[in-house]
Amino acid sequence: MYSVDVLGSIGEVGAREWDALADGVPFVRHRWLGLAERVLAEHRPRYLLVRKDGGLVAAAVCALEHRLHNPVLESRFGRLTRRWPFLQVQAPMTATSGLLGGEGPQRRVLLRAIRSLVRSERLLFCVVDHLPYAAGQPGYCRLGWLPETLLDLTWPSFEAYLDHLPRKRRAELRRTQRRAEREGIDVRPLAGGAGADLDRMVAAVDRRHGPHVFYRPGLFPEAAGALGADLTVLAAHRNGTPAGCVALLRDGDELVARWIGRDYAATEGTAVYHALLTACVRAAVGSGARTLRLGGAAYETKKQFGVRLEPRSRLFAARSGFVTRLVGGLGHHLDPPQLPPTPAAT
């Protein structure tokens, strides 16, 4: 017999029990979710726990949200979500899947529980994001989503990585590196002293590009205390002045680039973004990890680094079955633009 618990904080479930379920699923272990609760502003988490005979067999990492990540959905439903929240299911620190547990009956129970939570809290709808599969589920409609860009780390050194790239891309990277040097841009790991400058630059990027994910002051020191060696902060300086940053978060063999920040007044029109990505790849290749996740945005820049695309989708369900079917009927009109496949490096 299955039972379902709804919790408002990851602290309400034991770390050992949660991590046993999350084993092998990156960025959803207890410490990551606890960190999210401490650093994300306006974060309103919900954790759905499915138990069978008292044992934890499936779970969903959720949060109440007011902002949509799809510009088409935002244009259609944004006014409603400003007043009434919806439920988003994803890992909050890394925008990866928030579903835990096996397939089959346990997954069906979990997805029904998500819809029940939407009804009980009178939310507008729910979205289950960043799914690596495209299968539909009863009561939900499937929507497309931007693919993830990944780099498989198989090289012993950064120079070996560069040699692996096609000649044209290798030349583009080196040309942009030379441009960054001419502009006085230098990116290196930050050994300490992270503080208000980095917070300010991350907030500037969030304000400009959305989806308006805001952090409380002290993001980087808090993350350093929680993650230790699994956090690498890369800081860009322009002529010796802090001008940008990015964090590499590690869980097992996976790295994800997050928390990019820029001082736009000092870097507008420069190669600082490209320099930060290059530094990410350089650090990732030397880290011993197997995969670097770079997100779904700015594909035209990231494809120069030889990334591959991982298809993703999302499930949508409204309180009203009619609305769910209506959104499902819109189908491709709500899908983000699909990216072309990236040719293999030669």
pLDDT at 174 over 60: yes
Minimal CA–CA distance to 259: which of 269, 246, 250, 242? 246
Task: Please name each of the domains of the chain with its CATH number.
Answer: 2-147+310-334 (3.40.630.30), 154-289 (3.40.630.30)
Supply the pLDDT for residue 335.
52
pLDDT at 334 over 70: no
- Least confident segment among 140-149, 169-178, 333-342: 333-342
Minimal CA–CA distance to 80: which of 123, 114, 141, 120? 123
Global pTM reads: 0.89
- Kindly give the residue spans of alpha helices, DSSP state H, lying in the chain: 15-22, 30-39, 71-83, 105-120, 158-164, 167-182, 196-209, 219-227, 264-267, 272-285, 299-302, 321-330
**Contacts (Cβ under 8 Å, ≥6 apart) of 338:** 144, 147
CB 309 within 8 A of CB 344: no
| Average pLDDT, integer, range 9-33 | 95
Beta bridge partners of 250: 255
pLDDT at 43 over 90: yes
Percent of the chain with pLDDT over 90: 64
DSSP line for 268-295: TTSSHHHHHHHHHHHHHHTTT-SEEEEE
**51 vs 58: CA distance, rounded Å:** 7
For the stretch 229-274, pLDDT in tens is 999 999 999 999 999 999 999 999 999 999 999 999 999 999 999 9
Residue 95 binned pLDDT confidence (cut-offs 50, 70, 90): confident
Residue 75 binned pLDDT confidence (cut-offs 50, 70, 90): confident
| Average pLDDT, integer, range 341-346 | 40
